Structure 1
Amino acid sequence: MNTDFASDFTSPQQATRTATPPAHRPLAPDGSLTAVPAPPAAPDWPTWGQRMLPALLRNLLVDLGMWHNPQPLPPSGHLAQTIAVLDRYGWCRSLDYSPTGRMCIRGAQNLLEKTGHVTPAARARAVDHMQTVLARHGVTMPFHAWNDLPHQQFSNIRTLLTRAAYTARANGE
């Protein structure tokens, strides 16, 4: 079982600097290549009011124009935003949220779902893409258990999320 993704793919520095291959880049109506959209930014921590407010009430406030929910992202965008969250707040293993505010993959996904940046269905598709990438490398355990392995490094986490985002984008998601 190969759990060291850094040796299988480009380095994390190369992965973040590499543009989407031209075959996957969208075309403008005139046939020219369009710019690749910037990765989504990591959201701020939800305020106490946002954490205490149930989603049903928050959606009612949206309907009344008193609240603005963010636009939920597709799985590829969600995976890219998960990387941004881990870059901003820090990565950890064994806990969804550490006492110092660091997060594991699942914790970052929880933050994005709680703040409305991803729907539960899109998050489930993103998880499927992560599991597919892990399976290609002989890893049969769930992504959150793989995240918690004692020898795990953030470079492997970043590579997994990047590869899963590319897989999702290649599948039109």
Structure 2
Amino acid sequence: MSSRHTITEPRTVSPSAAPARAPQRPTVRPAPTPAVQPVITAPDWPSRWHLLIPTSLRNTAANLGLWQNPAPLKPSDHLTQTLAVLERYGWCRSLDFSPTGRMCIRGAQTLLERTGHVTPQSRQRAVDYMQHTLNKVTDLPFYAWNDLPDRTFPQVKHLITTSATHARTHGE
């Protein structure tokens, strides 16, 4: 550097020429957005291969990375998916699976368990919630209540929806 550009004294600016500092505002964090709930739909009818392969073999193949099992649902979501299955394939009484493909509550739950959408433990918890809801009205098991001659699908839908809501309030 040349001597002409050497600064010996620090330069100062008059206070009026200094840029005004904006007052610091407290940082406002946006409210946390609730987690997006997946839309629970009825699964497609499983292929024949899926039905023929035993669950233990499917689970072994999934552990080896050769098969993709669906993620098991918690009881409240299982009940919601059970209702979606009944709405998609049709509801019936007296048979778990009718010749036309319709199902009762227990048949829809069995379909979801066999295809890996629910674990046996989560299914049992869902059944416990249904029984708890049903015990306010009758002492019948839910599958016997489903088979009564005067039972209608709106009543079944109400039982499953109320049970799912009850399970959600308990965090399941």
SS at match of 2:139: coil
Letter aligned with residue 148 of structure 1 = D
Number of the residue aligned with 1:58: 58
Which stretch of structure 1 is more off in the superposition, 43-52 or 71-80? 43-52
Pair 134,36 (structure 1): closer, same or farther in 2 beyond 3 Å: farther
Matched with 1:170 is 169
CA offset at residue 34 of structure 1?
2.3
Q: Which moved more, 1:88-97 or 1:54-63?
A: 54-63
- Deviation sequence 1:20-42 (CA, Å, 0-9, x none): xxxxxxxxx95456266254110
- Matched-pair identity in %: 56
Partners of 1:74 and 1:97 lie apart in 2 by 24
Partner of 1:87: 87
Match of 1:131 in 2: 131
RMSD: 1.5
Deviation track 1:38-64 (CA, whole Å, cap 9, x = no partner) reads 541101111111111111111111122
Aligned residues: 144
When you count helix as a share of all residues, which structure comes out higher?
Answer: 1
Aligned position for 1:67: 67
**Aligned residue number for residue 118 of structure 1:** 118
Q: For 1:108 and 1:144, locate their aligned partners in 2 and report how far apart those are by CA, in whole Å.
A: 11
Aligned partners of 1:131, 1:106: CA distance in 2, in Å? 13
- Report 1:6-155 matches (<5 A): 30-32=30-32, 34=34, 37-136=37-136, 138-155=137-154
TM-score (norm 2): 0.80
Amino acid at match of 2:59: N
- Given the two structures, how large is their TM-score scaled by the length of structure 1? 0.79
Distance 1:119 1:165 in 2: 16
Query: 2 CA distance for matches of 1:153 and 1:141?
Result: 16
Deviation per CA, 1:100-125: give whole Å up to 9, x if none. 00000000000000000000000000
Structure 2 gaps, min length 5: 1-28
